[in-house]
Amino acid sequence: MQPQQYSIIVLISGRGSNLKALISQARHYKIQAVLSNNPAAAGLEHAKNAGISTLAFSRAEGEKLSHFKARIRDEICNLTPKLVVLAGYMQIVEPELIESMQGRVINIHPSLLPAYPGLHTHERVLADGATRHGCTVHFVDKGVDTGPIIAQAAVDVLPTDNPDTLAERVLACEHRIYPWVINRIAQGSIKLEGGTVSIEASARFEATQLGFILPALQD
Ligand code: GRF
C-alpha cells in the first residue's frame, strides 16, 4: 500500500452489506483491513473476495469482555489507520479507543438521530406512526449513538410498510451515504474540529445534490 493513501479499517459483526458498498465505492480511501468480533460474520466474505485482509476475533471461554475488547483495540492501534469505520459493529467501542483515535471513529445508524438511538429502529418508527425515517453517519463519542452528526438521508414511511420493507429502503440510503462521507473525509472536506463537524462548500453542494441532509449546517 502506498504510504500517502488514506487507510481505513472497517469493523463489522454481521452480514456486511455496508462493507460491500464501501469496497465498491472506494475512491479516495483504501480499506486496509476488516475486523470482526464475530468469526461467523458473513460480511468477512466480501473482504476476502476483494483481497482485503480480515481479522476475526473470538471471545475465549471465560474471557472478560473488557479483555476481549482490549485485544481488538490493540490490533486496531497496531494497524494505525487514519479512520475507524463501524459498519454494523454490535459492540460498544471502548472510551480508550475513541480517545486514542482523537475523533477519527465513525458509525452509521439506521435512524434520523437523535431520534431512535439503539436497536430495532424500524419497528419502533412504525409502532410510533412516524412519517419520516432514515439513517445517520456520525462521529463516535463515548455515548451510544450520540456523537456529532455528519450527514443523514431520509425516506418517507409508507402506510404499507413493514419493518422489512422500511429497512430495505433505509439500507439503500446507507449504501449511498456512507461511502460518500468517507470519500469526503479522506479528501479532507469533512472534519471534526473542536467537537464540531466542518464541511467544505464543495461537499455541502454535492450533499444537497445527492439529497443528503447536513444537520450541523442547519440553523
Ligand atoms: C445497518 O443498518 C447499520 O446502520 C447498522 O447495522 C446494520 C448493518 O448492516 N449499524 P450490514 O451488516 O452493513 O448489512
124 pLDDT more than 60: yes
Residue 90 pLDDT > 80: yes
Give catalytic residues, as residue numbers. 109
Q: 15 CB under 6 A from ligand 1?
A: yes
H or E element at residue 52 = none
Residue at 2: amino acid letter: Q
Q: Is the CB of 16 under 6 A from ligand 1?
A: yes
Atom of ligand 1 nearest to the CA of 21: 13
The predicted model gives 38-50 an average pLDDT of: 98
**Ligand 1 proximity of 88 Cβ (cutoff 6 Å):** yes
pLDDT value of residue 181: 98
**Topology of the domain covering 1-102:** Rossmann fold (3.40.50)
From the CA of 86, give the closest atom in ligand 1: 10
3-state helix, strand and coil shares in percent for the chain, rounded to the nearest 5: 35, 25, 40
How much is the average pLDDT of 78-92? Answer: 97
135 touches 173 (CB < 8 A): yes
pLDDT of residue 210: 98
Please tell me the residue having the least CA distance from ligand 1 atom 12. Answer: 16
Q: Indicate if ligand 1 lies below 6 Å from the C-beta of 134.
A: no
Under the banding of pLDDT at 50, 70 and 90, the label for residue 102 is: confident
Which of 55, 69, 2 shows the shortest CA–CA distance to 30? 2
Per-residue DSSP letter, 90:
-
Whether domain 108-219 has CATH 3.40.50.620: no
User: What is the residue with the minimal CA distance to atom 2 of ligand 1?
Assistant: 110
Checking if the pLDDT of 219 tops 80, the result is no
How crowded is the C-beta side of 132, counted as CA atoms within 13 Å? 6
Q: Which atom of ligand 1 is nearest to the CA of 110?
A: 4
Residue in 117, 105, 182 with CA at minimum distance from that of residue 151:
182
Question: For residue 19, is pLDDT > 60?
Answer: yes
Task: Supply the pLDDT for residue 5.
Answer: 87
CA distance 180 to 199: 13
Which residues of the chain does CATH 3.40.50.170 include? 1-102, 108-219
